[in-house]
Structure 1
Amino acid sequence: MNDRAADPADVWRGRVQDHLDAAGRPPLGGMADWEVFPFERDGLTPKAMGERVVPEPDRSRDAADCRTCRSLTVPAQVLHTGDRLAVIRPGGTSLPFVANIVARQHVLIDDLDDDGHAELGRLIGRTYAAVSALDGVGNVHLTKWENGSGHLSVNVMARPLGVLELRGSNLPVWADMLPDIPQAEYDERAEAVRAALS
């Protein structure tokens, strides 16, 4: 098979295979040396890489089992409602604030039309600005994973001012390990974000 006909993911996997140890594990890589990496390097062991799974398993979840769909029915969690999208917040967080820009219907980003994409861009910008304006916020990070939910969700996460360990892509890992902030504090910030988005 020539390179033109080769499956690009197979070619990628072949290159990776040469990089793995006998147990199928990659080396830790440079991220473990970042000053913002949340774990000590000593004792860390990467998981072994499994075989490719094609076709990939269906990651969608029925709307009846979707936490995002349920959150859209809880007025205290809904910060803004637009034509196709809404801004919600989870029930609690260890960070100064977290908001999620979500589809009002149980759809993925792939399902949005051009007007939906334009609304998404506007809401990302407006929500970013509203969260950035909160007291005690050092930076705001944006992500989109939606693996396993079947529901569009762009995450807007506030990093606490001056807490430099939480910088960058490991912010959600840190957030998972830290205790939730007091609910009253979170609710007060939610009202400020709601007002900024109105």
Structure 2
Amino acid sequence: MTDPADVWRGRVQDHLDAAGRPPVGGMADWEVFPFEREGLTPKAMGERVVPEPDRSRGADACGTCKALARDDLVLHTGDRLAVIRPGGTSTMFVANVVARAHERLDDLDETADEELGRLVRRTYRALRALPGVGNVHVCKWENGGGHLSVNLLARPLGVLELRGSNLPVWADMLPDIPQDEYDARAEAVRAALA
């Protein structure tokens, strides 16, 4: 049987330049793209790596597990899941719906799936209700760390550059909001989730 990922890679290979780089795509023309097109150079695509290397971390090296142990970062605790926040952010607010145990999305049962849906919805609404929030983006990047985290990022009202999938890129380049503002918003979110 033909490997679908090999077929995909073959199609992509035909579009790469001599250095193995794809052309700059249409995303560079989006008004929310955080970089100028001129001078932008995509990285060369590497070879496929199969099997993929294990990128998981044990609970002792997991940042999410460490955050779950800090009362100031835990906003809500459910049966199997919790809502936490990182220590700082450059956006209006960031909350993560996470597993209370060191487990992935694949490990959840149907009851936990239902809890995940409810907590994402409730957290979305709590962030959306914060003053100055234009929208809330919901995404999941597990990246092999071994701990489920569904991220909710609150975008500042009227800051249109931060719309869409480039919000995390913009957020990485912007300064963190003052800690006292972030902490006050955390209390509002904690109260909304209670």
Flag whether TM exceeds 0.5 (same fold).
yes
1:148, 1:90 → 2: CA distance?
A: 19
1:139, 1:89 → 2: CA distance?
A: 17
Secondary structure at 1:40 match in 2: coil
Unaligned runs of 5+ in 1: none
Unaligned runs of 5+ in 2: none
For the pair 1:101 / 2:102, whether they are aligned, the reply is no
1:37, 1:98 → 2: CA distance?
A: 21
> Which residues in structure 2 correspond to 1:34-49 (within 5 Å)?
34-49=30-45
- Of 112, 122, 132, 2:118 maps to 122
- Of 30, 52, 71, 1:56 maps to 52
1:44, 1:151 → 2: CA distance?
A: 33
How big is each residue's C-alpha offset from its partner over 1:27-59, in whole Å with a ceiling of 9 and x where there is no partner?
011000000000001111000001100000112
> Which residues in structure 2 correspond to 1:122-161 (within 5 Å)?
122-161=118-157
Displaced runs of 4 or more, over 4 A: none
How big is each residue's C-alpha offset from its partner over 1:79-132, in whole Å with a ceiling of 9 and x where there is no partner?
000000000000000000000000000000000000010000000000000000
Structure 1 counterpart of 2:24, one-letter code:
L
1:110, 1:54 → 2: CA distance?
A: 20
Structure 1 counterpart of 2:161, one-letter code:
E
Identity of paired residues, percent? Answer: 79
Q: CA deviation at 1:148?
A: 3.5
1:113, 1:17 → 2: CA distance?
A: 39
> Which residues in structure 2 correspond to 1:177-192 (within 5 Å)?
177-192=173-188
Structure 1 counterpart of 2:152, one-letter code:
V
1:128, 1:24 → 2: CA distance?
A: 40
1:59, 1:156 → 2: CA distance?
A: 23
Q: CA RMSD in A?
A: 0.5
Structure-1-length-normalised TM-score: 0.97
* Number of residues of Structure 1 aligned to a counterpart in Structure 2: 194
